[in-house]
Amino acid sequence: MFSGSSVAIITPFRNGSVDEEAFGELIEYQIRNRTRGIVPCGSTGESATLSYREHERVIELAVRRARGRVPVIAGTGSNSTAEAISLTRHARQAGADAALVIVPYYNKPTQRGLYGHFSAVARSVPIPMILYNIPSRTGVNLEPETLVRLATRHKNIVGVKESSGDLEQAGEIVRSLRGRRDFAVISGDDSLTLPILSVGGKGVISVLANIAPRDVAGLCSSFRKKDFARALRLHQKALPLLKTLFAETNPAPIKAAMEMLGFCSSEVRPPLCGLESGHRRSLARELRSYGLRRRG
């Protein structure tokens, strides 16, 4: 279930509200273009600024629109253990196939605190869980030793989205959990998808897939089929565009790109804001260079 390319799907807004029609169309676009999983309400989905009801509604919409054709991996993490349990429980009740649970942010818990947090969620909700390690946003790194303890103790912890940028750490997790064939190390950084696959990772939860789903899926499938030359070409093709997609805080650039390509509005929730004009020009240039054009 948790291999290949999954999309860290944006939450489209219009006039301050979730654009439900556009969201449904984005899911259809992803499924048509070989994406193997939909991940709503992650960092790219602006979960931090969704209300509780919006968060629940977006997950419900994703499950309803996907209709079992691809897994829905619902973002349900929080810096509050009780809140993470509540959100994860709702995702299971809504029909999500798995939960993506971020390392608690701002609190900066110890490794013992992280172990207790994830153990509590795993015990409370019998749903497959992918832990989400992104120290640049949370301020804390989920150490491999802690992750291995969690995955050994809780069989419903089935993967980790590794966004630490540390390839050695990703490889250590793969090596330490090689006895659990159902456990997936998943890249959380598009520029490291190919390197993480090369050390035993199984896929990516991708920002780029919002606009180039076939290429991200193609990179993963090419690697799986041992067509390493094609995988490398797709990796190298993406690098200049990825640089512009992360020139400002995600998801402002990817939303700007999606507006330029005719998918939806570029609207983001404050305190995020639209791209600076120089970055918009660079992004438009890289989209053209990549070969992406406005739909219709």
Any idea which residues carry the catalytic annotation? Answer: 132, 161
Distance CA 113, CA 159 (A): 19
Longest distance between any two alpha carbons in the chain, whole Å: 53
In a 13 Å sphere around the CA of 46, the CA atoms on its Cβ side amount to 26
Query: Other C-beta atoms within 10 Å of 254: how many?
Result: 21
Q: Are 206 and 216 in contact (CB under 8 A)?
A: yes
Q: Which two tokens stand for residue 1?
A: 């279930």
For residue 238 the two structure tokens come to 């993406």
* Torsion sign over Cα 22, 127, 251, 56: positive
Q: With contact defined as beta carbons under 8 Å apart, do 154 and 122 qualify?
A: yes
Q: What angle do CA 150, 156, 158 make, to 5 degrees?
A: 75
| CA angle at 259 for the pair 256 and 265, rounded to the nearest 5° | 95
Q: Tell me how far apart the alpha carbons of residues 120 and 153 are, in angstroms, rounded to a whole number.
A: 12
Structure tokens at 37: 């999983």
Retrieve residue 74's tokens.
């619902």
